[in-house]
Amino acid sequence: MYVTSSAIENGRILDRYGSRGTQFDAKGMPTYSMSFEIHDAPEGTGSFAVIFDDDDAVRVCGFTWVHWLIADLKRTKVEENESVSAKDFSQGVNSCHSCAGNSTVQEASGYGGPAPPDKEHLYTLKVFALDRKTGLKDGFYLNDLKRAMDGHVLAHAKIAGLYKPKE
């Protein structure tokens, strides 16, 4: 299994999917979500789970920043900006609802694009093929997703891209 994204060109996430884009929520979080496509999923895949995160955030806030969580995705392609409109998969809470953010669970359930505060960061989109649906509803947390995935991962893939701070 592997994943591709037209949102990443030459190893870089395109401006429109983060802080250098044009679509933000009321608190300034980038909300124009990336597109991606899953290829060669294993037979028996019941759903996909997705984690989009930033390990480089550890040196800034002390933890890996979660930008997007998806559960119970049944299709292999997600179009750009679907985080704000798709109803056929569940979305979890990003790190804007944390000690380093000020959004409610509802406000932070969905895509929160790259916005590195200090320097260029590497963001990773991880996709997991699961043998079943998780049953998670909107507003779930990363630990909920990890527990639901435990023992049910058939395959996984990832793609990464760099994003630099807004100047």
pLDDT tens column, 82-126: 999 999 999 999 988 887 777 888 888 899 999 999 999 999 999
Q: Closest by alpha carbon to 67, among 90, 36, 91, 84?
A: 91
Q: Point out which residues pair with 158 in neighbouring strands.
A: 126
pLDDT computed for residue 96 by the predictor? 84
How far apart are alpha carbons 141 and 138 in whole angstroms? 9
> Residue 112 has which token pair?
């929160």
How far apart are alpha carbons 116 and 98 in whole angstroms? 16
Query: What is the per-residue burial (b if ≥16 Cβ within 10 Å, else e) of 28-43?
Result: ebbbbbbbbebeebee
Indicate the pLDDT class of residue 9, thresholds 50, 70 and 90: very high
Indicate the pLDDT class of residue 167, thresholds 50, 70 and 90: confident
Query: pLDDT, tens digit, for every residue of 46-93?
Result: 999 999 999 999 999 999 999 999 999 999 999 999 999 999 999 999
Model confidence pTM above 0.85: yes
| % of residues, the chain, pLDDT over 70 | 100
pLDDT computed for residue 99 by the predictor? 72
How far apart are alpha carbons 133 and 65 in whole angstroms? 25
- CATH class belonging to 2-163: alpha beta
* Segments making up each domain of the chain, as ranges: 2-163
Task: Say if residues 111 and 125 touch (Cβ distance below 8 Å).
Answer: no
